Amino acid sequence: MTDLDGLLAFAARSRLADGGFGYLGADGRVLPDRPVETWIVARMTHVFGLASLLGRPGADELARHGVVALTDGPLHDREHGGWRSSTDDGTKAAYVHAFVVLAGSTAATAGVPGGRALLADALEVWQTRFWDDEQGLAVEEWDPAWTRLDPYRGANANMHGVEAMLAAADAVDDPVVADRLRGQARRAVERVVHGWARAGDWRLPEHFTATWAPLPDYNRDEPADPFRPYGVTIGHQFEWARLALHVRAVTPEAPAWLLGDAVDLFAAAASRGWAADGSDGFPYTLGWDDRPVVGARMHWVVCEAVAAAAVLAEATGERSYRDLAERWRAYGEQRFADPATGSWHHELTPSGEVGTGTWVGQPDAYHLVQMLLLDGRPVRGSVAAALR
């Protein structure tokens, strides 16, 4: 079974001497030809913040290393505010900023020096540049100077925005701010899950126009895009189901639909996704007819399936979810686990070989660490709060 300490040791190899964390290749070495990417720096900062809460040796320093990189490094735009997507991409993306909020939240919860200041800065940018209170959702992407807003709107960035707002609510000192953030997270879940997913018989659209009209054919010609794939993304449906339960956990007198929708969305992802092409595992994406579009198996999809099942088991007490979590975890350990690194291969072909159609290497410890840490713990707004 995957060992948390071994995985953290692997993740630590992403530390860059000049600041932040790099993209790890299949051999556990930073790929030298890639820029420093904010989403990776933020995710790794979050991971080491969680490790710090667990008292793991060296985690405090690594989390602090990430906080300094996000605060004082070149990814932080001191002139215009916010964070560049990478050292060679100046765009300001909601997806990226959601992870900066998450990193600041976890660092603040763990007492990492500078974490609370990072959170305050990131939250202010999120609230003023990305959160659209009229729509109850976040916009997607700005140019470097915040002068042009891209017309595309996306569910993926909003999903991680929900995660970030819940984590921030658990980390801030002001209960009024915490209540507002939790309310915003609930509104986003209601719009996406209780709205579009339910209306689509639990086939969740991912891509939208500026007025939030669904774009069902978006990226049909680039279906394996790592962040904006065409069709139904099984892993995201598991994530949304789990996030609905995190919202429910911090909502007084929570409406019944939060649990009911999580159960139904999870069931649709599990029944339509597992072995959809006749082979074990979850294809990356399905078409609107439930047939596989991108058959590659992604490690993060298995991780999110296991995490969602584990959280449902905690929320409902039903053994069937625990059985699914154990079954899918065993599948992941058998197929994805890489004993040479302590992490998991990020992509496999349907027949089980290492694939590179969407992901190269093993850059991301975020999904796998959270899968390990959510198992058997009480459901809270955030993973950090469950550890605390």
Domains in the chain (CATH in brackets) are 4-381 (1.50.10.10)
pLDDT of residue 201: 98
124-130 mean pLDDT:
98
Q: Label residue 138 by pLDDT band (50, 70, 90).
A: very high
**pLDDT tens-digit map of 171-187:** 999 999 999 999 999 99
**pLDDT tens-digit map of 19-46:** 999 999 999 999 999 999 999 999 999 9
Residues that are catalytic: 236, 367
pLDDT of residue 282: 98
Which regions of the chain does DSSP assign to beta strands (E)? 92-93, 131-132, 137-138, 141-142, 153-154, 207-208, 232-233, 283-286, 292-298, 347-348
Tokens standing for 359?
Answer: 């992901």
The H-assigned helical ranges of 231-374 are 234-249, 257-273, 299-316, 319-335, 366-374
**Alpha-carbon distance 325 to 157, whole Å?**
26
Which class for 240: exposed (0-12), middle (13-18), buried (19 or more C-beta within 10 A)? buried
Average pLDDT, the chain: 98
pLDDT of residue 43: 98
329-340 mean pLDDT:
97
The SS3 of residue 142 is strand
pLDDT of residue 30: 98
pLDDT of residue 157: 98
276-283 mean pLDDT:
97
**Alpha-carbon distance 66 to 73, whole Å?**
10
Exposed e or buried b per residue across 345-375, where buried means at least 16 C-beta atoms within 10 angstroms of its C-beta: bbbbebeeeebeebbbbbbbbbbbbbbbbbb
Tokens 């609107």, located at residue: 288
pLDDT of residue 242: 98
pLDDT cut 70: percent of the chain above it: 100
The SS3 of residue 107 is helix
**Alpha-carbon distance 265 to 263, whole Å?**
6
137-163 mean pLDDT:
98
101-110 mean pLDDT:
98
pLDDT of residue 356: 96
pLDDT of residue 151: 98
**Alpha-carbon distance 243 to 237, whole Å?**
10
pLDDT of residue 64: 98
Q: Label residue 215 by pLDDT band (50, 70, 90).
A: very high
- Measured in degrees and rounded to the nearest 5, phi and psi for residue 348 equal -125, 155
> Between vectors from CA 319 to CA 314 and to CA 321, what angle results, nearest 5°?
65
pLDDT of residue 31: 97
